[in-house]
Amino acid sequence: MRSLHRPLAGAIVTALCLTCPLAAGAADNEAGIPLNPRDAAGAWTLQSQGHAICVVRLKAERSGGAFGLRAGPGCAAALPAGVSGWRPTADGMAMVGADGTVLIAFGRWSNSLFVSHRSSGDDLQLKRGLPGASPGSD
């Protein structure tokens, strides 16, 4: 009987807080399952505090030890210097340098939203699609 309480409690929290980022993302969270590069390929909007910064295009083709990445104009100010690729991680994805060093990690909140918590308090988010477009319309 005790095992029934956890799923019920989770459903109640999600139902009561549909506008909360964690509850909303929990429904389609794929944490623990590595991101499939073919599924991730395409345009993603890098944003902070709800404002679009630039567009990042993830590629499914491997180049060395990572998959290709093209950061658009404006990304240089928000991303660490030297970002040249990306790779899936157990809990999201990481942008890496040419030598494979992780430069910034993003946790998966959902299949279309990845978040990097920064010490400044201004989190970076990768949201699937172009700025102002619905997911999947890249």
| Residue ranges covered by each domain of the chain | 1-30, 31-128
> What is the distance between the alpha carbons of residues 89 and 105, in angstroms, rounded to a whole number?
9
Q: How many CB atoms are closer than 10 A to CB 96?
A: 24
Q: Per-residue pLDDT for 135 more than 60?
A: no
What is the rounded average pLDDT of the residues 78-91? 94
Find all residues with CB under 8 Å of 13, minimum gap 6, and list them: 23
Decide which of 122 and 8 is more confident: 122
> What is the distance between the alpha carbons of residues 39 and 37, in angstroms, rounded to a whole number?
5
Q: What are the φ/ψ torsions at residue 37 (nearest 5 degrees)?
A: -55, -35
| DSSP secondary structure string for all residues of 21-51 | HHHHHHTT--TTSPPPHHHH-EEEEEEETTE
pTM of the model: 0.72
The torsion defined by the Cα of 25, 27, 28 and 32, in degrees rounded to 10, comes to 90
The torsion defined by the Cα of 46, 131, 54 and 102, in degrees rounded to 10, comes to 20
Classify domain 31-128 at the CATH class level.
mainly beta
The torsion defined by the Cα of 11, 16, 17 and 18, in degrees rounded to 10, comes to 70
Q: What is the pLDDT of residues 33-73, one digit of tens each?
A: 778 999 999 999 999 998 999 999 999 999 888 999 999 98
